[in-house]
């Protein structure tokens, strides 16, 4: 009888543990969307023409010069459209005249659970580690930054956070994370060594 009770308790723990890190379809789709965008280790940015290799995104003409810079300071952009879990999402590649430095994805759906996002990225083959962490690990931190590593590719960084519209914003940085704003610096740190846990 004790054995049955113990086996039942273990099964329950495993069930909930598996549920906590199960990848949502949106997380898997996002991982598949960004995977072809990673660049080679020797590159400092992606080629605009190479964006066409990402078959999950329908790219418009471009790049075109912007009237004002993107949030990470780039003046050229190329818009695109994709779907995540059947929902249309907006995609914008951003960079300099000669190369791409970042890709923005704007999803109208609410933000995913961080554990589900990480599970989806890992399921797609990425090694995922925190790149920027909350200063107070006990506080609620709506924004997340991850380092994504993939064999034979340069490590990239993925930002995930809520939009003012209630949707989700994701930004893939092909080189380095941009500097934090003053407001972000009060809440987050780039030193995640002391807080190295997932996610």
Q: What is the pLDDT at residue 22?
A: 60
Q: What is the pLDDT at residue 49?
A: 93
CA–CA dist 71, 173 (Å, integer): 12
Give the least confident one: 37-41, 118-122, 141-145, 156-160.
141-145
pTM of the model: 0.85
Residue 18 has pLDDT above 60, yes or no: no
More confident of the two residues 166 and 25: 166
State the average pLDDT over residues 142-157.
95
Strand partners, 59: 80
Residue 182 has pLDDT above 80, yes or no: yes
CA–CA dist 30, 170 (Å, integer): 9
Find out whether 76 and 89 touch, Cβ atoms under 8 Å: no
Q: What is the DSSP letter of 46?
A: B
Residue 6 has pLDDT above 50, yes or no: no
Q: What is the pLDDT at residue 44?
A: 92
Q: pLDDT-derived band of residue 25, with 50, 70 and 90 as boundaries? A: confident
State the average pLDDT over residues 135-163.
91
Element (H, E) at 198: none
Residue 124 has pLDDT above 90, yes or no: yes
Q: pLDDT-derived band of residue 47, with 50, 70 and 90 as boundaries? A: very high
Q: pLDDT-derived band of residue 12, with 50, 70 and 90 as boundaries? A: very low
What is the residue whose two structure tokens read 């996610």? 199
Residue 164 has pLDDT above 60, yes or no: yes
| Cis amide bond preceding 165, omega within 30 | no
Q: What is the pLDDT at residue 194?
A: 59
Q: What is the pLDDT at residue 13?
A: 30
Kindly report, residue by residue over 53-99, the tens digit of the pLDDT.
999 999 999 999 999 999 889 999 999 999 998 999 999 999 999 99
């Amino acid at each position: 009888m004790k054995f049955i009770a113990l086996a039942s308790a273990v099964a329950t723990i495993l069930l909930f543990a598996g549920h906590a890190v199960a990848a949502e379809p949106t997380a898997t789709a996002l991982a598949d969307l960004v995977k072809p965008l990673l660049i080679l280790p020797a590159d400092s940015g992606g080629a605009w023409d190479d964006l066409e290799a990402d078959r999950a995104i329908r790219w418009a003409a471009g790049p075109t010069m912007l009237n004002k810079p993107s949030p990470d300071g780039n003046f050229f952009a190329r818009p695109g459209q994709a779907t995540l879990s059947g929902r249309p999402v907006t995609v914008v590649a951003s960079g300099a005249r000669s190369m791409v430095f970042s890709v923005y994805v704007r999803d109208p759906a609410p933000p995913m659970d961080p554990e589900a996002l990480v599970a989806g990225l890992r399921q797609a083959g990425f090694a995922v580690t925190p790149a920027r962490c909350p200063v107070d690990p006990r506080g609620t931190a709506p924004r997340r930054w991850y380092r994504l590593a993939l064999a034979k590719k340069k490590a990239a960084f993925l930002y995930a956070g809520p939009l003012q519209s209630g949707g989700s914003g994701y930004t893939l940085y092909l080189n380095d994370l941009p500097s934090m704003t003053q407001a972000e610096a009060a809440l987050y740190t780039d030193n995640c060594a002391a807080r190295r846990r997932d996610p």
